[in-house]
Every structure is written in structure tokens, then in C-alpha cells.
Structure 1
Amino acid sequence: MCRPAPDVRMCGGGSRLRGSRRAKAGCFSSQGSVRSVGRGTQLSNQGVFRFIAFLVACAAPLGAAAQEPDRTDPPSGAVTVDVEALKTEIQRILDEYGIPGASIALVDRNRTIWAGGVGKADLAAGVDVTADHLFRIGSISKSFTALAALRALESGLLDLETPVRELGPEIAFTNPWEATHPVTVAMLMEHTTGFDDLHFPEWAVVDPEISLAEGLAVHPHSRVSRWRPGTHMSYSNSGPSVAASIVEKSTGTPFEEYVREQVFLPLGMETSTFYVPQGASLLAKGYVPDGVSEAPYEHIIMRPSGSLNASAREMARYLRMMINRGTLDSVRLLTPETVTRMETPTSTLAAREGVTHGDGLGNTTLFVNGHHFRGHGGSLTGFRSRSAYSSELGVGFFVSINKGSSGGLPDIVRLLGERLTEGLEKPRGPVAVLSDDELRAMTGSYQLATPRQQVTYGVDRLLYVRRIILEEGKLFLLPTLGGGRELVPVTATSFRFEVEPVATVFGGVDEEGNRILQTGRDGNYMRVGTARLRFQQAVALTTFLLLLSAPLFALVWAPARIFGRMKTIPLRTVLYPLLATLSIVVWFFLPAQFASSLDLGTVSGWSLTWFVGSLAFAALTALSLFVSFRRDSVEGGRLVRLHSRLVSLTCTVTLLYAWNAGWIGLRTWAY
């Protein structure tokens, strides 16, 4: 059965739709009717010629996709870019950061300014990047998952506000507030379900053939709402994949096939795929951070959230469709109203107060050269990507680099943005006049309340702290370290930074009465007492210094003992606190620094190091505490004993904190 969306006019023969259930010759009208030509149909010569002409006319918009040149001449008054000079500047950035190559697309409202590449798609073979090389675009995949969901919406097959429990009761997730605050399809794609991001076992599964249902069944424990859904945004790769599963069920079509039929083919993106491309020569090689060693093709089991491969030429068509509010040439994919819904966050405290900055449906806000753009970023083993467009300015760009580190990508993004917006006046953001009392309501200390991964919260809550102060009638937001930035009022509850054209910071009160600071992907914070926060920071700093003192003292004590000094100090008095302290490094810091998600998501040397090391730390802490508080005296060692006891107590405090954070005995392969 064919399910064309309203207002779509797309005609073509089966050769354009190979591999699809729609690969029958025919024409899809806006009413969804199909005019097919059977084998037994008899046509006059005149009728045949008319029919062929009709097919050619209908196929022209899609046929243009395959023939679209890398560059087109600008019409009068259009944006102009010196592409050759731009290539030189991009190559300089690639050389500076050791990046093999980059896939680039620049567009305006009516044309592709340039689609192509700079550098190498394959270092060993010496292959240059072209407009047709497929790059892994990571989380930009979520934009296309959203487009598929919105196609289903316009076809009447899906409602974004319907609870997921009703649409997919077989999908495992836990929401303690389901009765009053159910998880909806919109929340899945706006990252407001409260779910953790993927856990280690989910990242560790790299089977490229696993189905969407099988992927969601691997480790559903990550899908637990940690706060009321529809309150805070916290990025999660599982949400869009659950939404894709709902699309699959609602349409009766495998998700990847539905995206191909309803999104890729109408846009002329025939080579784009969520799977490993059949033509190996089309796929650019990815490289690890050294820029030389080839990265493996690591599949992500949440395929709708990050597995898409796409070329610069085809991404240019996607960008033009978004700029033109759902229409590409003569093909309408979505209505302008639906595109606006895609771009608009609706399910956070900030969104309900009118703040438009943040994550919509597979679509987020970014600022380019002082201008307001929308798009998405992507990151996957061996690749980093960014898409961005502005319907108001009528321009957009796509860039993907084939190196697994972000260094260099921001520079290229900045360069492309500057070239596309050169000479355009930067918008001035709105300003509201608030009283000192209204401004003072925002002041105070705030602590991160919504970690992306709950397992890291024990560290995040100490590192991610914000203070808002009022000085001379102005608000300033101060991070944990570094200088503050002025918060310019836009309304009584929304603020922006001076260089931004729209409100990006929101201050409000949640249903529990807590004062909340929402800053989108930069985090959501809860106001806490300044005294409490300073006490936490003082304890953390004191703990760190005392733990550090154990190995430093050992560096003094060991040589002194070798040369006949400090012999009255028993070995156990210094050794056990030292071993307990060093075990923290082995158990905690080494795996955190060097282990990959694959290492921690399976039973491996690193995951066992965490599991066994944390238990060893607990045992050594208990032993150290026992030895340091024994009653037997140590001649000439009172200060040493005091230090030993302080370090042992510090290890005990660390142990209790780690236990509360869930780190002691953590089996990362089952977390």
C-alpha cells in the first residue's frame, strides 16, 4: 500500500524507486491516487507519446537531483562565494589539525552554491573527497528521523502528543509519573523524557544488521524517567529511536524503508542510507584522532539516532528544502507549518514560557556569525559533522570531517558561516527593562540537576555550578571557572547573552517549587543554598588535597627510610593509606581516561579494572582505617599518625560518596 503525504506531487518510473515496494511505474498525485499502466494496456501512438512526455515532465524534479552540478552560477543579487579561495582556507584548517578531508555543501534558497570536498576520502588510496562521497553524519540522522515522523503526521498516521504507552505498549521504559505526565512522541524527539543517554552495553553492540526492535531490547534499563517528563531537556539517543519504532508501527513499514520512500527519494537523496553502503567506493574512510589510523565502521544500535551516511550533494538538497519551508523545487515534502513545528521546542519549562531557543524535533538552535540558524550536529567514530540553515537569510551549509576529534570543525563552521553571511547586518536582540527586585529573583547559586548520564552525576554536580549575581543593575552569569557574562533580559523570565539575537537562558519554578535555570544543552540547574554549595566545594577540595598528600609524603618517607631516617615509623602506617589512595587512580581515573564504550560495555580488562578496583579500594580503605587508629604508640611519629588518620578518614569519605553515586562494585557491562 502506498501512503503519500498531502500536497506531494512526485512522478517517476520504477528505475527511480528500485528496491522499494513503490517500484511500480506510476504517478503519485496529491490525493494519493495511482495511475498505473498494465501490461495489457493498449495505447495509440499519439497516446504513447503523450504518456511519455507526461512521465518526463513529472520525473524532471527528481531527475535533477542526479544531474545537479557541484556549483551553479549565481542569479542577480544572489549570495556569492569565492569557492577556490574558500577551498584554500579549508585546506589550511585541515592541515593545521591533521584532518584528512572534509565534505562541504553551501546553498542558498534557489541553488547549490557549491557541493564538493577538500582533502582525502581515503589516505592510503590517495582518493580526493568529492561531492558524492558518503560521510557518516552521526546525530544529524535525527533530523531525518523527525522528517519521517512528520510525514506520518501529515498523512494522519501519527499524533505527536499521544502517549507512547498507547502507541507502543511493547516498548520497555519506566516513567514513575506516567499517570500524570506521560511520555509522548514529541518528548522522545525533543529529549525531554528524562531518559539517560545510552548505557555502556548499548554502545558496545555494533552489529550493523540488528533490527530496530532488537536494538531497543538490548538494554532498556537506560530508559528511565529521572524527573517529570516534559520538564527538562537532556540529550538522549534512545528517544528518537523509540519514536522511529512508533513510526514503523504506525505506518506498517520498516523504518529505514519508510524514510527512503517518504524522505530520501522525494528529495533526490538516493545514495543516503542508514546501513553500510553497498558501494564501498562511495564511503569515505574515517580516522581516529591521530588523523592517520583508520577508524572501524562502528554501528550504533539506535540507528535512527546516528547511523546515516550522506553526501554533500544530497545534503545540499535537504538544506534547500528546509530553507524553503518544506518544498524543494516542485516537490513539497512538508507544509511550512509542519517545518515550523519541527523547529520549535514545546516540552520544557522554558518552551512553555515562549522560549524558542533549543531542541525541536531533530532540530536545534545555533548562532553563526551573530545570526540565528537551525540545524544539528553529529559525532560518530571517525567523523564529526554539522548542518545549519536560516530560512530568514536564505542560506545554509553542511560540513563533515573524517577525523574523530572536534578540533578544526568549529573553525570550518565559523568560516562557512562568515562567507555566507558576509555583509549582512547582524540582528539586534530584544531588551526588556526589569526592576531590581525582578532581577534579584534570579540571583543565587545553581547546581547541575540533569546530567546526560546518571553514572557521571557524582562528578558533574561538583564541576557544573553556576552563580548569578546582580551588579549595578545588571545580571551576570558566572561559571565554575572563568569570567562571567552579562545576562540581558528579554522577558521577566528569559535572558540572552549580549552577542545573541534571541533568549537562550530561562529562569522559572518547577512543580516542586524549586528555582530552575535552563540553558538548553548547556544544562539545567537547580538553585541551592550558597553555604551548602561552598561546603560541598570545600569538602571536595580538602579531600583532593589530603589524598594527594599521601603519595607526596611517600616520596619523602621512602628515601628517608632507605638512608636510615624515620625508622621508628611502621611501614603499615604509611603503606595502607598510600595503597588506598593509589587504588582510586587505578580504579577510577585510568578507566575513565583510557577505556572505550566497547571496553566498558563488555567484560574486558578495563571493565574488570573498574569492578575489582572499586572493591579493592573499599577493602584498602577499611584496612587503612583500622591500622591508623590502632592504640599502640609510635615513638616520634605523632604527626605521621595524624596524617595517616586524616588520609584514612578522607578515603572513607570518598568511599561513602562513591557508594552513594553507585560506583563501588559497578559492573559497567551490565549497567
Structure 2
Amino acid sequence: MKRYLSVCFWVFLISVHSLFAQSNSSPETLPELIHEIEKVMQEEKMPGLMVSIVSKDSVLFSGGLGVSVVESGQKVDGKTLFHLYSITKMFTALAILRLIQSGSLHLQDKLRDIAPELVYTNPWESTHPVRLVHLLEHSSGFDDTHLNMIHNTSIHDLKGIDAVNFYQTCLIARWKPGLVSSYANPNYTIVGYLIEKYSGMSWDSYLQKILLEPLGMHYSDFDLRIKEEKRYARGYRFADGHYIPFPFFVPTGNGAASALHSCAEDMTQYLRFFLNDWNIHGEQWLDTTYLSAMETIHSTAGAREGLQIGYALGNSTFYNHPKANFRGHAGGGDGFESLVNYDRRHRIGYAIANNGGKGMWRISVLIENFLTRELPDFVPATLVQQPTKPVLRDYPGYYKPINVRSEQWNFLQRIIGVVKLSQWEGGLIIKPLLGRADTVEWVKDRLFKRKYEHQASVVVGLDENGNPFLQSDMHQYYEKTSYLPVLIQQLLLGLSALAIVLSVIWVLVWLVMVLVRKVSRSQILVGLLPGMAVLSGVIAFRITTVTDYTNRIAFNSINLTSVTIFFTSLCFGLFAFTGLGLLIKQWTHLKSSWIRGILAFNAFFLTYLAILLLMHGWIGVRVWAL
């Protein structure tokens, strides 16, 4: 759940970051900036912070703030290693580009051709095969890491093909590869395996040789297991007035998706590498055409229509700053959050990481405002010839989201995430079920943007079957749908939510009625079972979400936590189904029509919800065996 909320956070950032950046005052000097950052750290409960800020050829700041280990008070310095998690994917993508440059691989290579030994499921393989570019851009359609696949509890590291096979239940294409991006960590485990296969070295040794050593990144590593703890910041969560440390968990897979540990001094070298267009001490690491390729989205339906907001080759755009085009990668997990962003046009960039598990947006706004304080607002390029506005008569209507990141966590998004698309003279109105409508103005072709953005972030088009689609907010992909099925699903879900609330209230009412003998004692269960189902479901949900934040390793095995989740989620279904059956059996014995109505309402909609959860694996879920 925390991973999903992290994605939602970045999507939210797209919408608000630019507005905040324009309205928030910018620190004018470096001491003012550091002072403001330290205030945020205190307010957000961040024990320590790694900071690297670069402008052109100048290193404005490279070091640390706060403490790396709360218990000892050890300070963060320029050599303190932070776990940067998914920023690893940028490095993994660079290794692949090096292999492509050598001729060993090509972006459009079919996975079935370059690694026939790998087992995965793609119903469209004959017409839409999984390709290398799909793995790099997360457009393979594979599911994200399941709950029990985040930490390795074995004493042995996963290597070679075993690291890929570990994610077997995730490697099922859920839509045609190349349709749309959906972030899935197993993609980069496969990429790491390909690096090993075609370089003849372990993926991390290959990166050390071709990149880290030439760059002078002497302190960074991709170690799955920490050897010298004193060199590393420890991750924390803040609860009840105290910092609670996370263990140094071992990532699953081969580490190519999330193993990087780095420090401010090394990330400074990394930023300069990008700001100098991959020139290292006067020598070109790779031709700049590969750098442009890394920053270009190649494979999705939105990209084919001209949309370039989203995930490229291990390199992503997050939002539109009013003065610059920042891009890079974010990472997070188990007490760490990190971000690396750069703008090659203005030769500015920064890398930050905290060990309190807190979002980085407030600090990123401060740094970006500081770096761009003397820059003019972005002026979009003038079109030589004003294009003709597209005819959009086929596009207004209802659209359902397709590319949920996790089938396990996000299946309800396909119901509650439906949007209504309508047209106004200057563009489109996108209205979600909940929340305010989003208005986007026409740019060119079928591309649109929000008023404060300086490049297109929304596109409409036709898929290969001629069906309308909408892509918005980096990579959220919608297909046009009929309104009636949407309305029915949303009504059922809304009424189920009402039944949950009503069932809890009804337990108290029912017990009072039993005590005053308005209801026979033989009928106690028929009124209590819906409430018991809700209580079981709430317990299962609460334990699962708390464990996902505080102790994910509990998902890996049969233990008190995982068994409780299994039992309570099973009880939700059992109590819901039993309640409906018992109500049918005792229907004629219930004399009051209003009691019948309430009980029937609760029983029916809780049973519907139980069936929905059962279809998606949440009734009697065995989290240790997903």
C-alpha cells in the first residue's frame, strides 16, 4: 500500500508542484536555502538528509544535514551512504545503453529471442511481443512486486535466472505490451539478468567497471547485504514521539531495480555526468544520441501520439517547473525517500535523500526555486504554422482506467477511477467521480496541457482497433466505455460502503432489541453476522496496511501476522455469505418489514463486496504465497 500511495503522491505532485513553486518565495542565498531545508526536516521528522546541488560546473553544496544514526547521533556527511532504492533503475538503464552501443542488444529486441529461457505469459506474444524497450519503459504489462516479494529472508542471494523466476506470478502481461506504462519492479530484474547474460559479468560488477569507476563514484555500491553498517544511514519511521529504526532488509531479485547505496559526493559526480552530456574528463562516455534516447519515451500509445510526459529509459519526468524541465528518478522504501533531478538545458541538478521515509517535495521545491531564481519563466517554442484544431466528436464520454500498477492493491481503481471527458471551446474537461474537474487546453494535434504547464501532459487518440483512449498524468491510460456498466459498478460499490457503515450501527441496535425482547434470541446471529463480517474485514485491512509500512518481512512467511490476515479476511467472506444464507432461512420469522429491509440490504451488498474481493484474491488471502 505504501508503494501505491507513493505513486499517488507523485501524480499529485504533477498537479500542484508548479503552482506551489510559483507562489512560494525562493531562498536567495545558499545559507537561506540550508536554513529553510533544516526547518522542513524538523517539521517533517527527517533525522538526516543527503544533499547534492550542482549548477553548471559549480558544486553549490555536497554533503549532509542531520544524523545518519539517531541512537548514536552520528552525523551525515558527504560520504554517508543512503539507500536510494529505485534510482538504481537509472544506472541499470545506462548499462543496457552501453550494451546497445556495443551491438550486443537493441531496444526493439524481442525478449523471447534474446532470452528464450525466461518463462513469462503474454497472450499477445505473436502480434505484440515483449521487447527490451518495454522492460525499460515499464510498458510490458507485467504486475508490480507482490507483498511477499519485497524482502529476501533467505541466507542466499537470488542470482541469474533464479532472480527472474522468483517473480513468476508477476510476469503476466495484463494488456498488449507497448500500450502503456505501468511501474513494475520485476521489469528491471529481467534487465539486470540480460546485462549479465550479454556482458559476461554480474550486472553490478559491469556497472562498477563501465560507469562508477570512470565517474569516480568510489563509495557507492549495489550490495544486497550491508557489510559495514557505520558507513550507512539507517532508515527510520516516526511514531509516538520516537524514531523507530528499520532493519537493513535484503532486497529480493538480483537488485537491479533497487539495490543502489550512494552518498552526496558520488551523486555530485553523477549529476555532473548528465549536465556535461555524458562527457567524463574530456571523453564521451556514449554518443549524445543515446542520452537523447534515454530521455525519450518510445513505446507507448501516448508517445506515438506525441506525448512525452512519463517514464522513458530509466528516466522520468515528474512535473513541469515554471522555469525548467527537470527529469530524473525517485526512490523509496523502509525509511528512505530519494530524488535525483536535472535539467541539461540550464545545466542545473540536485540529488536528495532522507532517512525518515518522508516525501521530498517540499525540499525539492526549495532547491528548484533556488536553482532557477535568476531564470526567466519558460517560453514555449513558437509554431511556424498554427495547426488545425482536431475534430473531437468521437472522444467525449466515459473512460475507465486500464493500467493499474498492482492487480492486488489497485483493482478498485478501475471502478472508482472512471472519468468523464467533455469538450469546451479551448480544450477538454476531465471530471473524476470524486474531486474537481480538470480543465486542459489544446496545444496541437490531439495534445493538451493545463494552463500552468509548458508542455503537453494529456493526449487523446485511437488505438489500433480504432477505439478512443485518453492518457493523462504521466501514464494513466483510459479506454472509452459505456456509461451504464460504469454506473452499475459504482452504485454497487457505493451501496456496499453504505452497508458497511450501516452494519456496524445495526449491531448496536440489534443488541438493544434483543435485550428488550423485541427480537428472539434465536435470531441474534442474523443481525450480528454483517457487523462481524465488517469487523473482520477492517481488522484484516488494518493489519495488512500497517504491516506494509512497518514490517513487510512478515508477509514472507507463516507467522502470527500473516495467519491473522488470512483468518480475518476469510471470516469476512464466511460471515457475509453465512449472514445472507441465515437471513433467507429465517426470513419468514422476521415479522417487521423494516427489519427485513435493513438486514436484506446489509446482507446483499456485503455479499457482493465479498464476491468482488474473492475474485481478486482478498478472501482468505495467503500473503506468504502470492
Same fold? TM cut 0.5: yes
1:145 counterpart residue number: 92
1:190 deviates by 0.6
* Mapping for residues 101-250 of structure 1, pairs under 5 Å: 101-206=48-153, 210-213=157-160, 214-250=162-198
Among candidates 552, 555, 566, match of residue 508 of structure 2: 555
1:96 deviates by 0.5
Question: One-letter code of the match for 2:500?
Answer: L
1:366 deviates by 2.6
Matched residue of 1:400: which SS?
strand
For 1:580 and 1:184, how far apart are their aligned partners in 2?
Answer: 45
Q: Which moved more, 1:377-386 or 1:125-134?
A: 125-134
1:209 deviates by 5.5
Question: One-letter code of the match for 2:489?
Answer: Q
Report if the CA contact (8 A) 1:325-1:339 is conserved: yes
* Mapping for residues 164-563 of structure 1, pairs under 5 Å: 164-206=111-153, 210-213=157-160, 214-275=162-223, 276=225, 278-290=227-239, 292-302=243-253, 303-367=255-319, 369-370=321-322, 371-406=324-359, 409-429=360-380, 438-519=391-472, 521=474, 523-563=476-516
Question: One-letter code of the match for 2:234?
Answer: K
1:569 deviates by 8.3
For 1:352 and 1:369, how far apart are their aligned partners in 2?
Answer: 24
Report if the CA contact (8 A) 2:64-2:77 is conserved: yes
Alignment partner of 1:663 is 2:597: no
Report if the CA contact (8 A) 1:458-1:658 is conserved: no
Query: Structure 1, unaligned stretches of length 5 or more?
Result: 1-79
Matched residue of 1:490: which SS?
strand
For 1:179 and 1:416, how far apart are their aligned partners in 2?
Answer: 48
For 1:385 and 1:212, how far apart are their aligned partners in 2?
Answer: 26
Alignment partner of 1:653 is 2:601: no
For 2:50 and 2:451, how far apart are their aligned partners in 1?
Answer: 33
Identify if the C-alpha distance between structure 1 residues 573 and 252 changes in structure 2 by more than 3 Å, giving closer, same or farther: closer
Report if the CA contact (8 A) 1:625-1:648 is conserved: yes
For 2:436 and 2:530, how far apart are their aligned partners in 1?
Answer: 38
1:478-506 alpha-carbon deviations (Å, 9 max, x no partner): 23322222212222322222211111222
Report if the CA contact (8 A) 1:579-1:620 is conserved: yes
Query: Structure 2, unaligned stretches of length 5 or more?
Result: 1-26
1:521 deviates by 4.4
Q: Which moved more, 1:409-418 or 1:593-602?
A: 593-602
Identify if the C-alpha distance between structure 1 residues 623 and 329 changes in structure 2 by more than 3 Å, giving closer, same or farther: same
2:579 counterpart residue number: 624
1:262 deviates by 0.3
Q: Which moved more, 1:653-662 or 1:225-234?
A: 653-662
Matched residue of 1:171: which SS?
coil
For 1:197 and 1:101, how far apart are their aligned partners in 2?
Answer: 30
1:539 deviates by 1.6
Question: One-letter code of the match for 1:410?
Answer: W
For 2:381 and 2:442, how far apart are their aligned partners in 1?
Answer: 8
For 2:180 and 2:69, how far apart are their aligned partners in 1?
Answer: 42
For 1:435 and 1:186, how far apart are their aligned partners in 2?
Answer: 33
Identity of aligned residues (%): 28
1:636 deviates by 4.9
Matched residue of 1:518: which SS?
strand
Identify if the C-alpha distance between structure 1 residues 613 and 124 changes in structure 2 by more than 3 Å, giving closer, same or farther: closer
Report if the CA contact (8 A) 1:436-1:473 is conserved: no
Report if the CA contact (8 A) 1:430-1:502 is conserved: no
Q: Which moved more, 1:153-162 or 1:411-420?
A: 153-162
Report if the CA contact (8 A) 2:587-2:596 is conserved: no
For 2:487 and 2:381, how far apart are their aligned partners in 1?
Answer: 35
1:616 deviates by 2.9
Matched residue of 1:246: which SS?
helix
Report if the CA contact (8 A) 2:320-2:455 is conserved: no
Report if the CA contact (8 A) 2:423-2:429 is conserved: yes
Which structure is higher in RCO with an 8 Å CA cutoff and minimum separation 6? 2
Among candidates 82, 99, 102, match of residue 46 of structure 2: 99
For 2:546 and 2:334, how far apart are their aligned partners in 1?
Answer: 17
1:421 deviates by 0.5
Report if the CA contact (8 A) 2:492-2:605 is conserved: no
1:662 deviates by 3.0
1:510 deviates by 2.0
1:613 deviates by 3.2
Q: Which moved more, 1:613-622 or 1:175-184?
A: 613-622
Q: Which moved more, 1:218-227 or 1:526-535?
A: 526-535
Question: One-letter code of the match for 1:295?
Answer: F
Report if the CA contact (8 A) 1:289-1:405 is conserved: no
1:437 deviates by 7.0
1:81 deviates by 6.6
Question: One-letter code of the match for 1:420?
Answer: L
Report if the CA contact (8 A) 1:476-1:484 is conserved: yes
Q: Which moved more, 1:384-393 or 1:170-179?
A: 170-179
Report if the CA contact (8 A) 1:438-1:492 is conserved: no
Question: One-letter code of the match for 2:267?
Answer: M
Q: Which moved more, 1:181-190 or 1:567-576?
A: 567-576
1:268-326 alpha-carbon deviations (Å, 9 max, x no partner): 10111011454433211211243611111122223111110011111111111112211
For 1:224 and 1:495, how far apart are their aligned partners in 2?
Answer: 32
Q: Which moved more, 1:80-89 or 1:638-647?
A: 80-89
Report if the CA contact (8 A) 2:493-2:609 is conserved: no
1:436 deviates by 8.0
Q: Which moved more, 1:110-119 or 1:484-493?
A: 484-493
Matched residue of 1:469: which SS?
strand
Q: What root-mean-square deviation, in Å, do the aligned CA atoms of Structure 1 and Structure 2 show?
A: 2.4
1:63 counterpart residue number: none
Question: One-letter code of the match for 1:201?
Answer: N
1:224-282 alpha-carbon deviations (Å, 9 max, x no partner): 11111111100011112211211111111111110000010011101110114544332
Report if the CA contact (8 A) 1:233-1:520 is conserved: no
For 2:142 and 2:56, how far apart are their aligned partners in 1?
Answer: 37
1:68 counterpart residue number: none
Size of the alignment, in residue pairs?
A: 590
How high is the TM-score relative to the length of structure 2?
0.88
How high is the TM-score relative to the length of structure 1?
0.83
Report if the CA contact (8 A) 2:48-2:68 is conserved: yes
